[in-house]
Copies of this chain bind each other. A is one copy, B any other.
Amino acid sequence: MAPPILTPQSEDFPRWYQEVVAKAELADNGPVRGTMVIRPWGFAIWEHLRDALDRRIKDAGVENAYFPMLIPESFLRREAEHVEGFSPELAVVTHGGGKELEEPLVVRPTSETIINHFFAKWISSHRDLPLKVNNWSNIVRWELRPRLFLRTTEFLWQEGHTAHASAEEAHEFALHILDEVYAGVMRDELAVPVYTGLKTDREKFAGADRTWTCEGIMRDGKALQMGTSHELGQNFSRAFGTRYTDRDGELREPFQTSWGATTRLLGAMIMVHGDDQGLRLPPRVAPTQVVVVVVKDDGMVIPEAHRIASALEARGVRVRVDDQVDVSFGRRVTDWELKGAPLRVEIGPRDVAAGQAAVVSRTRGQKRMLPADGVARWAVEALEADQAALLEEATRLRDDGTTAVDDVEGAIEHGGAVRIPWSAVGDEGEQRLAAAGLSVRCRLRESDDAIVAKAY
């Protein structure tokens, strides 16, 4: 028997992760520690996810804009908690154009400060509210224990920033982003169901009044923070002097939100759906949804493979023909399983003669023969079924992987993801959990429970 293509998950999950990211050609380490190259297969997944997020962000009435990456160091110092939280992670530009700069510049670790500098210019009347902008960009936070996608010194993300006339409106909007945009895209595109809830004071964003979070449970039982939405209160509008005249002519400071989701989401997709054969990509974000593999060619097979591919394309399916017949069929099948292409169509000379093709789903297996003309119709249905099957399996994984416990001792004894009454934790319990390597991922919205787990 051939040796396994990947270290089995049960043997060494972190190693499995590292191997699958490399072998599926998702990403590579950059020459500067903690930086990352996102390779074409990985980037195409990000593009589908990014576009889906972008559509929902725009549907929420938010407009995209671009703010500069270089921020005067003094900007960060204006909000006390903020600078304390981010100082240890900063990359600092001290030289530009061949000269030492008068004031060092930080590479944005997040953009609250520079965006508020402009909000202060743009907002003067209640008519300017609500103001809702979003910025797709790259971020640098110095990372001591980097892992591809999960913790990288540079990562890609979107950060949204809004200003509202009332705390209530800001609250509602922060939750809209959490539920409809973030949790919605995670569920519908990535097939990853998440817990949503409130961060504890210990875990909230530096400068926020409240931080809402989406937490996924990975196949190894650890939790991953997948997106956060912050109620900033008036902290930044005060620090930057953002004020508006209300309908009664009074000067007021707006209430703000900010919210971000990053390339880390690909890490969640990998760790929730991947198996010992490699990735399993949710069809919605798969760069290639169907690969038509030419087993071998006699001059008739490649044209037939393209005919089938055209029929798939005509139905809006993303398809690729693999006609690299100088590479062994078995090797190519292994590679496509590694890369997680949702559906595979296999076709050889005898199949062409018989007007048929073998089809198989990466997620549900079920290899069988179909008439060649039935492949396209099958694929459209199978992609829907795969997307649903992945979500169902991931939901079971999350729910079965979360054990109810009564108290902090129970949580520590269990060691994995647990649900625990918040009243049994509190600040003191949170410290004891931390000492045991566990953290409160969130206080659930729909109950008085909290989710506690080891975390990435």
Chain A interface (Cβ within 8 Å of chain B)? 28, 30-32, 35-40, 43-44, 46-47, 63-72, 75, 87-98, 104-105, 107, 114, 117-118, 121, 133, 137-138, 140, 142, 144, 153-154, 156
Contacts and interface: CB of A to CB of B under 8 A. Distances in A.
B70 A140 contact: yes
A143 to B, nearest CB: 8
Contacts of A35: 68-70
B36 A154 contact: no
Contact of A105 (B32, B89, B137): B32
Given A36-B66, A47-B64, 5 more contacts: A32-B72, A37-B65, A37-B66, A37-B118, A93-B94
A98 B91 contact: no
Contacts of A47: 64
Contacts of A43: 63-66
A142 B137 CA distance: 20
The list of the 6 closest CB pairs from A to B, nearest first, reads: A97-B142, A40-B63, A35-B68, A30-B68, A38-B66, A92-B95
Contact of A96 (B91, B104, B121): B91
Contacts of A94: 92-95
A148 to B, nearest CB: 12
Contacts of A137: 138
Nearest to A137: B138
Contacts of A64: 40, 43-44, 47
Contacts of A156: 66
Contacts of A37: 65-68, 118
A94 B118 CA distance: 28
A31 B138 contact: no
A310 to B, nearest CB: 17
Contacts of A90: 95-98
A69 B91 CA distance: 12
Nearest to A27: B66
Contacts of A97: 88-91, 142, 144
Contacts of A88: 97-98
B70 A44 contact: no
A114 B87 CA distance: 28
Specify which of A31, A38, A68, A71 lies most central, judged by the most chain B CB atoms within 10 Å of its CB. A68
B92 A107 contact: no
A37 B70 CA distance: 11
Given A40-B65, A65-B43, A68-B30, A95 B91 contact: yes
22 contacts: A28-B118, A28-B121, A30-B67, A30-B70, A31-B75, A31-B114, A32-B68, A32-B70, A32-B72, A36-B66, A37-B118, A38-B66, A39-B65, A40-B64, A43-B64, A46-B66, A70-B153, A89-B97, A90-B95, A90-B96, A92-B94, A137-B138
Contact of A38 (B28, B30, B36, B65): B65
Given A30-B68, A37-B118, A118-B37, A63 B44 contact: yes
Contacts of A107: 93, 107
Contacts of A87: 98
A137 B139 CA distance: 12
